[in-house]
Structure 1
Amino acid sequence: MKAVLCDEYGAPDVLKLVDLPAPEMKPGHIRISVRAAGVNFQDTLIIKGTYQFKPPMPFIPGGEAAGVVTEVADDVTGFAVGDHVLALTSWGSFCEELVAPADRCVKFPAGMDFAEAAGFLTNFGTSYHALVHRANLQKGETLLVLGASGGVGLAAVQIAKALGATVIAAASSESKLKIAKESGADHLINYAEGEYKDKVKELTGGKGADVIYDAVGGDYFDQALRCVNWNGRILVVGFASGRIPTAPVNLTLLKGCAIVGVFYGRFKQEEPEKSQQAIEEIVDLYRQGKLKPHISKRMPLEQAREALNLFVNRQAEGKIVLTSGAA
């Protein structure tokens, strides 16, 4: 099978497209013919060796895949050959064939194609966990989404609208803001027009945002502390800007606000039953037409390096997927 291999840490250019033997079947697993694999910012960190976990070398990157079940271990129930499934793998998805733990796979709804499925669970799972479990976002509250045109950002916009919140989307270009508007954002802020904190206060009558979803970090987080409402919650989702910020904690005292960490991967490990329930809830929202992944690019597996470089160069919009076969 074809696979993308990482055998040294570095930028996406270190990755190699290789032919590998099909993976061996294991108890508790299912074999999947991969049709699409989601590409995420965290993949760029994993291949650099700077993410929260480090797979043993060499490894296949890619944390989510969608495809067709071709084999089921004898001890696995609930799956059958021919099922269309998506898998959360942490790594190992940039390949043509995958053996994945059955408890990290779910069947996806009729009408969802493979590319949408591969772009669904990480982004929408992360944002649902952030907004529902960590922020307890309420109907009528105002959410500010930083990096609103990225995969998790667009998911946050859609989920917040489904929950009845008002959404302010912030991004770095008009084309990116257009995507956020199409996903339901009520107000738009272009970073290029100067500091966003004053605009947020203007849009909220001087109060500030009740919840701030920050997948960017750096200077953008610094401003977040200055435009969050009393009793507000700032969600720390990631650091796409490259700089991990530090917080002047006196502002948390003055604002009465909370800085809340969001780590979807550990949440799934620590609270598997709650995580599974959340998956069912976001799939139901998809069936209702309230959530839909924005697939901006479908690129062949051979272009994995180019796909990851879009994240490195901050050119990614929406969801990017790698495809093999009929996706």
Structure 2
Amino acid sequence: MASSMQRLCRYGIRLLPAVSTSSQYLSRSFGVSSIKNASTYKAAVLQEFGQDLVMQDLKRKAIKQGQVRVAVHSCGVNASDLLMMENKYDQEFKLPFVPGFEICGEVIEIGEGVQNVAIGSRVIGINKETLGGFAEECVVSQQVIGVCGTEDKADLVRKKGAWSALKYNKKHILAKVNEVTNGKGVDIIFDAVGGDVFNDCLHCVAHEGSVIVAGFASRVIPHIETSQLLPKAVSLIGLSLTHYRDANNTVYRQVVEDVIDMHEMGLIKPHISALFKLEDCKSAFTFMTERMSTGKVVLEIQ
């Protein structure tokens, strides 16, 4: 099993500032002394698609040149994880595997040739190719208008600073958008849902507006006629972080650094909807599938 599970978070990692900040999950000191010299580590493993994750002790594998071993402090839980575990994602993973691609942790071992990262460095990483975040450790290669499903979620978006937040209603969304924009429409729409929501977005866009497609959480990929873009001179833009990492890593890393800098300056604050222990990862997915999340769902691992 271990040989078929390459827990290599190839995305690359970003060093976090040494000085602590108000963010508990990006800046607090990680207690990892107990696993630095361990021969095994705990992980939530998917044995069969569509089944629950199983807690297992996995044998630690030697790191290769250019790699670092990271003690995972926390890992985000995403809709993409659900799709991967149900074999409905656009990339298929070989069973068994450890899900999780948004990690935050501390470097505990460094491979040959690694530069600019030291043992004890606090890092973050994102990787959708080989995953591995739902575990005590993984190996990493160095390298607004809100529309919500419920009024409670819309209220949360307003409190986070949105100019306006609307409860999604297919019959009334266009009228509501026109009401708050005085009939102008929206200049930029960011859609990570797809399906009917995407089609409704097209009706709400302003003249020379842009629709950014960032995902399909609804699991329904919309199809449109290009003629729908002509009347208002609408721009349709696809955005894939994974592709940017490979095609223009400089731009991607700069964007990540800018976001972290904004967080350190207090300009943005991630909203954590719920915290779960690694052993309770099933509850984390239940929390998401029952549409209870209002922000990031996180597994606390250390």
Shared fold, TM over 0.5: yes
- Please report the TM-score for the alignment, with normalisation by the length of structure 2: 0.82
Alpha-carbon contact 1:38-1:319 (below 8 Å) kept: yes
In structure 2, the CA distance between the partners of 1:180 and 1:261, relative to structure 1 (3 Å rule), is same
Where does residue 323 of structure 1 map in the other structure? 300
Aligned pairs (5 A) from 1:170-181? 170-181=147-158
RMSD, matched Cα: 1.6
Query: 2: CA distance between counterparts of 1:275 and 1:319?
Result: 21
Q: Shift of residue 275 of structure 1? A: 0.9
Residues 195-247 of structure 1, C-alpha deviations (whole Å, 9 max, x = no match): 31111112112111011111111211111111111111111112222322222
Where does residue 67 of structure 2 map in the other structure? 29
Query: 2: CA distance between counterparts of 1:261 and 1:296?
Result: 27
Query: 1: CA distance between counterparts of 2:233 and 2:171?
Result: 26
SS in 2 for 1:45: helix
Aligned pairs (5 A) from 1:245-324? 245-324=222-301
Give the gaps of 5 or more residues in structure 2: 1-40
Alpha-carbon contact 1:62-1:94 (below 8 Å) kept: yes
Give the gaps of 5 or more residues in structure 1: 104-166
Is residue 42 from structure 1 mapped to residue 19 from structure 2 by the alignment? no
Query: 1: CA distance between counterparts of 2:222 and 2:81?
Result: 21
Where does residue 123 of structure 1 map in the other structure? none
Match of 2:214 among 237, 255, 258: 237
Is residue 63 from structure 1 mapped to residue 101 from structure 2 by the alignment? yes
In structure 2, the CA distance between the partners of 1:257 and 1:61, relative to structure 1 (3 Å rule), is same
Query: 2: CA distance between counterparts of 1:242 and 1:315?
Result: 18
Where does residue 111 of structure 1 map in the other structure? none
Where does residue 8 of structure 1 map in the other structure? 48
Match of 1:96 among 108, 130, 136: 136
Query: 2: CA distance between counterparts of 1:290 and 1:280?
Result: 14
Letter of the 1:56 counterpart = K
Higher helix share: 1
Letter of the 1:302 counterpart = E
- Please report the TM-score for the alignment, with normalisation by the length of structure 1: 0.76
Residues 228-284 of structure 1, C-alpha deviations (whole Å, 9 max, x = no match): 111111111122223222224332111210221111111111111111111221122
Letter of the 1:48 counterpart = E
Is residue 81 from structure 1 mapped to residue 119 from structure 2 by the alignment? yes
Match of 2:186 among 186, 206, 209: 209
Query: 1: CA distance between counterparts of 2:147 and 2:236?
Result: 19
SS in 1 for 2:274: strand
Query: 2: CA distance between counterparts of 1:184 and 1:275?
Result: 26
Query: 2: CA distance between counterparts of 1:275 and 1:66?
Result: 18
SS in 1 for 2:263: helix
Q: Shift of residue 315 of structure 1? A: 2.4
Aligned length: 260
Query: 2: CA distance between counterparts of 1:247 and 1:31?
Result: 45
Where does residue 162 of structure 2 map in the other structure? 185
Where does residue 146 of structure 2 map in the other structure? 169
Larger Rg: 2
Alpha-carbon contact 1:173-1:192 (below 8 Å) kept: no
Identity of aligned residues (%): 34
Alpha-carbon contact 1:23-1:97 (below 8 Å) kept: no
Letter of the 1:40 counterpart = N
Letter of the 1:186 counterpart = W
Query: 2: CA distance between counterparts of 1:223 and 1:85?
Result: 39
